[in-house]
Structure 1
């Protein structure tokens, strides 16, 4: 049977609690002596406030009296005055004034936030932790976790209070344990244990071991639970405050209960109850008694189980928390139902249902309905006895009908599941087919682009060769013949011949430029890096400056790939000079393994990148086709009148 027992209690700090528990009345007497004989008003104020904490859960009247004296004495001291509201929150919680307690804590945080000392930040962390505990007591586990994560833990870390961080981790584990998320709870418990081991805070380490043992029991991990119990027991032998044995016996009784050793479970509970009564720990005693109920119930001793719950339902400490009330109400419904007390079972289950959340609403309604039927049957027992035979026949018929309905329902459910499963398979197959078709189309498009680019380069190379070797040679021969004629010019024709030769020189230069653009000779002879540098130099004019930077370009790149990269840079430079009206252009090329990076920046007029796909004459479609051919990516950063930056990443494997 699953159970969740909350461990909510307000704290100030470990050292304060330790002194109060270890020295008892001597601790209170020493504080009282300070209030009567100290010459310092601030010391008196601090002593009064600590006395109010000491009496908060022992004597509410003395707690309030010392708090009033402390606040009055702290009035000239802003920090102590802020702390008075912290202790006010503790005192109000001691008399179950939950609303007033939270208001006091919120006031304390508001006043303490004006101070930047580590002590003030540490008290703010404790303040938010206590506010979270108040909300947890009201059933808001999520709110408690939220305040721990976003308030208490960050403030404790800011204050450098490592022990407080560990305690907050332990609080978080309780939230997850109470909501039956045992694996998450284990993680925070182990973190808190690591903190307490590092700082060697023995008392906190014992609490963490006990909590870990309970969590492992609830998670059905009994060897791990036993190991936690053994670790706690070793530390308890040297621990002066025997109250920590109470939590140990609680965890140990849960372990024996879950492992079906009910006799040892009851023995552990009795030891814990005796200690709790000895130290006036009412809530801890009632926690043990709630565990005693579970042990009796699991041992099928329902009479004693019900007696324990009848006692607990009258105890304000136990019933102040919603989680505990739910367990007690549901337990009373179960035990009374098992013992045949159907009216009582019905009433307790109804009270349980009113407290439950909407998640269990349907299940609870069914349980209540079943109890109503049993209750009605018990009220009409005499009448039913007279009609026993007819009832048996009706029940037999009802069972047959239920069996038929169950079979029909099962068949319908099977068909529904089968239909859903078939639809899912069909949808997945359809998506897979669409994805495969899309991949095939993309592959075909890439292959088409590849073939087109390769054909284009072959044609460029052929035309370049024809121009250079054929027409270029012929023009060179014509030039030589004309040059020979200038050696003995005909009278009056010398200047005309020189003019023709100059025009022929220009034609040859233009022809060579066209041939070089169609198939750069520098790329074929010296490689990509030299070719790109030569390209940038050839495109510079008096009005356009082009800078070129390269890093790590390897000569092992396949020639087809080099040509494609060259064409990309050539096209982008042409765009920048012709269309962008740029006066400064920077070309950067680098290689890192199989990745080739190109960046071209210009100070031209820029353009709207959203309209780039519809723009004509800027050559971006040619560049994009070549980038796709090399399985690359292109990024364009531009805006009107702000220049353009183009980043390209290519795969040259």
Structure 2
């Protein structure tokens, strides 16, 4: 039973007992007159209605606080409930808002550390793939070529087939290393990195189109990395799960910053729950104060939109 109904029924019980006493041993006339009964019942009804209205007004801030508590998501920051009502209720709402501020700050700090560690581990793995496995496969490829050139035709043909398989494996390792550590992002910038990304994403029947504006404002490394990772995750999900035939990546300037939009014509999200990839995109967006929306597109499929404020003091 809610607090409102507990208080209301308690007050109603007191009023009903008082009315019953007036109709019984405490009545002003014996026997009870019908006019007295009518007046007492009307008075009781008026008092109950006034009591209900006053309690509803007094407890309204608690109801707003309850809704805020049940709908708050640290990955989707929203407006705080207004600290209104009586002093105790206002203090409760203020305490709740302070707790949310602290939780969001702690989440942002822990997420930043986790994502920084993730990027460092990606760089380490990419470096090892390039330096260790890549060089080893290159040596194997050269050795196969040397042996195939001096082998008799039947054996030489088999060795050349093995050489092609090794070359394909080497190309795949280099592609994985580039996805783990986008060196082109550091060397040539965001526009070139996104262009390279759209050419690397592949799936049967999928065509990726990119539209990148040439007047993008200066952005820090963290902002560019978040934009790249969100685009990478969105296109990867499109290639793996959407069944789309076309995807469009758009990056353009806005009045307050830049906007990245990735849309496809696939079967959409449906009732799919958000996985670690989508949550990772939201965490990255919050790190740079960006706003991420993910849902159905205007003409079907899925649309991911990342709005990034870029200006003085932004990185």
TM-score (norm 1): 0.33
Q: Helix, strand or coil for the counterpart of 2:242?
A: coil
What are the superposed Cα offsets for residues 160-210 of structure 1, whole Å, 9 maximum, x if unpaired? xxxxxxxxxxxxxxxxxxxxxxxxxxxxxxxxxxxxxxxxxxxxxxxxxxx
Q: 1:647 aligns with which of 299, 305, 311?
A: 305
Cα offset, 1:430, TM superposition: 2.9
**Structure 2 residue aligned with 1:455, among 102, 117, 122?**
117
Q: Which of 157, 161, 178 is residue 516 of structure 1 equivalent to? A: 178
- Paired residues for 1:198-277 under 5 Å: none
Q: Which structure: greater helix fraction?
A: 1
Match of 1:430 among 85, 92, 98: 92
Q: How many residues align?
A: 227
1:636 touches 1:645 (CA, 8 Å); kept in 2? yes
SS of equivalent to 1:493? helix
**Residues 574 and 607 of structure 1: CA distance in aligned 2, closer, same or farther (over 3 Å):** same
Q: Residues 14-55 of structure 1: CA distance to partner in whole angstroms, max 9, x if unpaired?
A: xxxxxxxxxxxxxxxxxxxxxxxxxxxxxxxxxxxxxxxxxx
The 2-side partners of 1:555 and 1:481 are apart by 49
Distance 1:549 1:584 in 2: 14
Q: Which residue of 2 aligns with 1:228?
A: none
Report the aligned-residue RMSD.
2.4
Contact 2:269 2:295 in 1 (8 A): no
Higher relative contact order (CA 8 A, sep 6+): 2
CA contact (8 A) 1:528 1:555 kept: no
Describe the superposition over 1:535-568 as per-residue Cα deviations: whole angstroms up to 9, x where unpaired: 0011145611111011246474222322221110
Q: Is residue 446 from structure 1 mapped to residue 108 from structure 2 by the alignment?
A: yes
Q: 2:231 aligns with which of 559, 569, 574?
A: 569
**Where does residue 282 of structure 2 map in the other structure?**
624
- 2: distance between equivalents of 1:486 and 1:579? 42
Asked if residue 465 in structure 1 is aligned to residue 127 in structure 2, the reply is yes
Number of the residue aligned with 1:214 = none
> How far apart are residue 576 of structure 1 and its match?
1.2
What corresponds to 1:498 in structure 2?
Answer: 160
Partner of 2:146: 484
**Alpha-carbon spacing, 1:578–1:531, altered in 2? closer, same or farther (3 Å):** same
Q: Contact 1:552 / 1:592 at 8 angstroms: preserved in 2?
A: no
Structure 1 CA distance for aligned equivalents of residues 217 and 186 of structure 2: 11
Q: 1:599 to 1:639 in 2, by over 3 A?
A: closer
How do 1:409-420 residues align onto structure 2 when only pairs under 5 Å count?
none
Alignment TM-score, normalising by the size of structure 2: 0.66
Tell me how far apart the structure 1 counterparts of residues 290 and 298 of structure 2 sit (CA, whole Å): 26
Unaligned runs of 5+ in 1: 1-422
Cα contact 2:217–2:253 (8 A) shared by 1? no
Q: Within 1, Cα distance between the matches of 2:161 and 2:261? A: 44
Higher strand share: 2
